[in-house]
Amino acid sequence: MTSVDSQDLIIQSSSGKEDGLSQLSRSTENAKRIKSVQDKFVNSQSLVRDGRALVGEGILMKVCRKKPKQRAFFLFNDILVYGRVVMNGRKYTQQKIIPLCEIQISNVTDCDENPYSWLISSPKKSFVVRANSDRERQEWIAHLDRCIRHTREGRRHSENNTVAAHWVPDDKSDTCMHCRTTKFSAYNRKHHCRNCGYIVCDGCSKKRFLLPHLDSKSVRVCDACYSKLTTNSTNESRPTNQRDSSDSDGEENNAQYSPTPATFYQNVENF
């Protein structure tokens, strides 16, 4: 979970002209919506804050390393929040918060398994999400893009362009993507390089390297990335016996939920 300091909230323009997001943040309906979202999250960080506006919400499929998982997403004027859907949308768990100032969005090539998709990148985690239709995807991207730009316009320091690698889903390769010879099996596990996101075998990823945007400890990287990183850095890194972290959001049952159209409370033209 990422904590967001008050200094990360949008700084209003010195011109004194109030924009649509500022008006939305002060409305009674906005306060009720945020309180409703807050109450549905179990054991979560508070979402109520002065100047915060809930811009939109909806259910998206998050493409995880093992399989796509349904997640509830909430776009605010300063953060993106998502969580696991339980009780058919009446409750959410595993709350994650990403400051908009850290997010980059980009298109991905549509495929049969994941149509209407795009990539959300941030320093700690990057992942693909998919909408229910191309129209819904365009609405999400338009609102995300405008909120991100609106947030950065108010920040006093430059943005950090370093983002986490997007992990290749497990089902995309049965062979190590580094040596291209090792076959995976129940006894030969798949691993992910934290620098490039490729699926690699244990033999090709025994090294660890410090990637400060990901963790304060050294993380698993493949041999190719280790060579590049050590060449471009004076930091020392030695193999360790650390267990690698997982990109999974937790195990869950196979319950299916009906697609829920996204709802946006502010038109991008009025930002």
Q: Any idea which of 34-43, 168-177, 240-249 has the lowest mean pLDDT? A: 240-249
Counts for the chain of helices (H) and strands (E), in that order: 4, 12
Residue 124 sits at the vertex; the CA angle it makes with 8 and 33, to the nearest 5 degrees, is: 50
- Judge contact between 73 and 61, C-beta under 8 A: no
Q: In the predicted model, what is the mean pLDDT of the chain?
A: 82
Q: Which pLDDT score is estimated for 251?
A: 54
Q: Report the distance separating Cα 80 and Cα 97, nearest Å.
A: 6
231 pLDDT band (50/70/90 cuts)?
confident
The per-residue pLDDT for range 59-80, each reduced to its tens digit, is: 999 988 788 899 999 999 999 9
Q: CA end-to-end span of the chain, whole Å?
A: 28
Q: Any idea which of 10-14, 56-60, 131-135, 180-184 has the lowest mean pLDDT? A: 10-14
| Beta carbons within 8 Å of 234's beta carbon, 6+ residues apart | none
- Judge contact between 27 and 55, C-beta under 8 A: no
Q: Report the distance separating Cα 85 and Cα 72, nearest Å.
A: 6
Helix or strand (DSSP H, E) at 155: none
Average pLDDT over residues 204-230: 90
90 pLDDT band (50/70/90 cuts)?
confident
Percent of the chain at pLDDT > 70 equals: 79
State the burial class of residue 46 (Cβ atoms within 10 Å of its Cβ: 0-12, 13-18, 19+): exposed
- Whether the per-residue pLDDT at 195 is higher than 70: the answer is yes
Percent of the chain at pLDDT > 90 equals: 52
Q: Which pLDDT score is estimated for 246?
A: 41
Q: Between 268 and 74, where is the model more confident?
A: 74
Q: Which pLDDT score is estimated for 239?
A: 40
For residue 63, which of 117, 135, 102 has the smallest C-alpha distance? 117
152 pLDDT band (50/70/90 cuts)?
confident
- Whether the per-residue pLDDT at 168 is higher than 80: the answer is yes
Write b or e for each residue in 12-39: b if 16 or more Cβ atoms lie within 10 A of its Cβ, otherwise e.
eeeeeeebbbbebbeeeebeebbeebbe
Structure-token pair, residue 16: 């004194």
18 pLDDT band (50/70/90 cuts)?
low
Q: What are phi and psi of 179, to 5 degrees?
A: -85, -20
| Alpha-carbon distance values, 12 to 40, 95, 150 (Å) | 30, 28, 10
162 pLDDT band (50/70/90 cuts)?
confident
Q: Between 160 and 109, where is the model more confident?
A: 109
Q: Between 246 and 147, where is the model more confident?
A: 147
Q: Report the distance separating Cα 265 and Cα 53, nearest Å.
A: 9
Q: Report the distance separating Cα 111 and Cα 68, nearest Å.
A: 14
Average pLDDT over residues 95-106: 94
235 pLDDT band (50/70/90 cuts)?
very low
| Beta carbons within 8 Å of 213's beta carbon, 6+ residues apart | 123, 124, 160, 162, 163, 164
Q: What are phi and psi of 7, to 5 degrees?
A: -70, -15
- Whether the per-residue pLDDT at 10 is higher than 80: the answer is no
Q: Any idea which of 82-86, 113-117, 158-162, 234-238 has the lowest mean pLDDT? A: 234-238
